[in-house]
Chain A
Amino acid sequence: DAKTTQPTSMDCAEGRAANLPCNHSTISGNEYVYWYRQIHSQGPQYIIHGLKNNETNEMASLIITEDRKSSTLILPHATLRDTAVYYCIVRGYSGNTPLVFGKGTRLSVIA
């Protein structure tokens, strides 16, 4: 079973920041938080991952709380093309484990 809890759906106005929360209260010390998204009729796409420090790349920012029990994915200026299902996944960094997806959050970006 997935080790994360996410809201089922969220709306965001185009051009505004989209903040997607994720709870992972049972995360262990050597587990990372990964985010993927899946645009309709496509395979999932890697976005970002982190351990305990905040991370930023060209797609998004990842904010992880100090106790590591929750995190937030931030899309700074959401566009219509960001409409997708966003999955928060907890995974060991060894890379030996497959991804365990939950149901994710369906983000709808509205014009």
Chain B
Amino acid sequence: DTGVSQDPRHKITKRGQNVTFRCDPISEHNRLYWYRQTLGQGPEFLTYFQNEAQLEKSRLLSDRFSAERPKGSFSTLEIQRTEQGDSAMYLCASSLLAGGKHEQYFGPGTRLTVT
């Protein structure tokens, strides 16, 4: 399977703990996006990278959130001191900014539950 993969698929953590999620984009895709989705809502943009550079961060991305894409390939999203309000599905997407094709391909998501 050469699609976007995310790990883990599910994470249960206690309030105050740190968690880290990983996203592996489609090979050679230079754009990588993180979104968050709560129940009954559409996905909301958090941040995106072009290669290893983080180009934009949403106001939703508080100081407790940090994302990296160190070599322009996989990316990690870390949440420090988790709160119950962080419970959501975290989605990763990738795209190739070339040739007029800008479709984003999404992974299956990581469902976070903060107890």
Contact = CB atoms under 8 A, between A and B. Distances in A.
Interface string B21-39: 0000000000101010000
Contacts of B85: none
Give the interface residue-count category, chain B: 20 to 34
B105 A46 contact: yes
Interface of B: 4, 31, 33, 35, 40-45, 48, 56, 58, 91, 93, 95, 97, 102-109
B103 A49 contact: yes
A46 B42 contact: no
Contacts of A102: 42
Contacts of A17: none
B93 A43 contact: yes
Interface residues of A, number: 20
A103 B40 contact: yes
Given A43-B106, A44-B91, A104 B42 contact: yes
Nearest to A47: B103
